[in-house]
Structure 1
């Protein structure tokens, strides 16, 4: 019997039925229409902050190397479906490794659609294009930024490749110019320009494999140009902490600022992998733990 015929109303939130007819006792399942199914919020798990997982404001105030590496070694983002994309076989000390793979979350909030997905890649190591080729084969438009590669050669690899021979620079370098044949431009300028030219608001995946001098400019987009930062759904960063045998506090402090900025803007670390080829393990005597110098880290930001 329909609920309006019984002059009843259903409180779906409380799970109760109220009828004006005396002596009529019903459950919500006894009448129609039934309570609508509330869709599960796909970002529920991603909304959980790292701070809620541990005691104290460890993320905002770096108290020890142990807390820093605890963040790296215990990803708190909840990606249920991870894919390893790209990679090539490398040999080191008579051991075979798969190098260059990137972790991509394929949960519903991050599902990429062929012919509409976009990937930005900064700092490829010359011939290492396996990740980019795999994403291009899937149907993504892949924007590659590297000053060392040959543009014609790269773009001939795949029709979905777009190559930019631009070296990432800072404001000072950009103002005074450079003797390099490659134009120095700020990362945020590059990203903003491509977003406007392609009429896009968001980019599915950002891969940052930068090192040395370029690290000084990475902070611009992560801590200052946040309007650009929030355009990315997933951000992959390869980091190198210190030299053989000891971590660099300068590097730790720098990356700590990056991590705080990402977390504050809703990004959650869901993948952390020690580089199998380049990593160097060292011991933290005070914390009595073994850590690594090279990590591949991936954050995701889920929005309803």
Structure 2
């Protein structure tokens, strides 16, 4: 078990967006303030020479930037699969991606979205995994309400309407469905981002004997009574400027140490919550690429 903090030099000499703008976006993205309050606060930065158009264009996602692997890539095959969730919404659906040339079985990885449904960035992450030889499955938590609506604002509002326990049960069901899939070699990994990071931590606490490798990106821990069940292996990824999530880490790490859990945690200095998401200006390429390389190496070692 270990915890590491790493720093990188600034990526460019462009005038940076003020820290408070990222903090406000984090509050907005997680439902702590509404859109009007968020935009009003951004307007207040005009005195510093930032226009509202510049700020919203930088902070809000642009999914045209996020496609690293085309859905037409000949090395992968993608489709949608339904799964049963008797303790949750009865039925779920997700984006299923496998290597096109797969013969036999392969390790499987559950990919868990943020708090806004199965958006293009998360689907691209699933395709990236398939390019590396994994079978990836990205459930859409919003499927019972019609699925990801095509934009993050509406997706966030829909997810806020869902019963949290039902949503959690849907992801547990999806994980078990994936592990038992005919293409699975019986080894299950999970990676998630933000809300998805929380779900990965929750899976590590609720189905510890089924989950063989967990990588939560900037996710909060499972409920405190469940943490005693976590054994790992886990690789936890944190942004150094992500105060909201990072405040939860000391207590979680204390529980992991008490459990004798197999874990390693990386904190990337100077980057924000969401630093892996390449559709917004929170993205930091050096740290995102390093964190993703480590994630792939971890899965290859634990799921072979």
TM bin, normalised by shorter chain, reads 0.3 to 0.5
TM-score by length of 2: 0.37
Structure with more of its chain in helix, by fraction = 2
Structure with more of its chain in strand, by fraction = 1
Larger Rg: 1
TM-score by length of 1: 0.37
